[in-house]
Amino acid sequence: MGNKQEELETCVRLKGYDLIGITETWWDSSYDWSVGMEGYRLFRKDRQGTQGGGVAFYINDQLECMELHLGMDEEPTESLWVRIKGGAGAGDIIVGVCYRPPDQGD
C-alpha cells in the first residue's frame, strides 16, 4: 500500500488536482491511519462484509463540500456522492464515483 499511496500523493502534488476519485480501494478500518493525504479531505465507502470493492474521493480541503446520501445503499453498485459548493455566481457541483462488481448480475 505504501508505494501506491506515495505515487498518488506525488502525482497529486505535481498536477494540482482538486478532486480524485478511486474505485476498488479494498480498504477497511485497518487502513484508517494510512490513507489520509495532506491538503485533502477524504470521503470513502468501504465494502462491508466482504473483501474488495470500495470507492473513495480525495477533495482539496480548500473546497467547501459535503457527502450526499441518496438512499442508494441497497443498490448493487457501490457509489459515493459529494456536493462541492460553487464559487461566487456559480452553482454547486455534484460528483459521484461508482463501482459495479463484474460478477454482479444485471
Q: Is 32 exposed, middle or buried (0-12, 13-18, 19+ CB in 10 A)?
A: exposed
pLDDT at 4: 66
Between strands 78-84 and 19-23, the pairing is: unpaired
> Is residue 82 predicted with pLDDT exceeding 90?
yes
Cα–Cα distance between 93 and 27 in angstroms, integer? 26
Q: pLDDT of 15-71, one tens digit each?
A: 778 888 888 887 767 666 667 788 889 998 887 777 778 888 999 989 999 999 877
pLDDT at residue number 104: 64
pLDDT reported for residue 16:
78
What would the mean pLDDT of 61-82 be, rounded to a whole number? 80
Kindly indicate whether the domain formed by 2-99 is annotated with CATH number 3.60.10.10. yes
Instruction: Using alpha carbons, select from 103, 106, 53 the residue that is nearest to residue 80.
Output: 53
More confident residue, 84 or 34: 84
Average pLDDT over residues 72-76: 59
Instruction: Choose among 100, 48, 101, 59: nearest CA to 83.
Output: 59
Give residue limits of the domains in the chain: 2-99
Per DSSP, helices labelled H in 18-88 are none
Confidence (pLDDT) at 76: 58
CA distance 26 to 5: 13
Give CA–CA dist 2/61, Å, rounded: 22
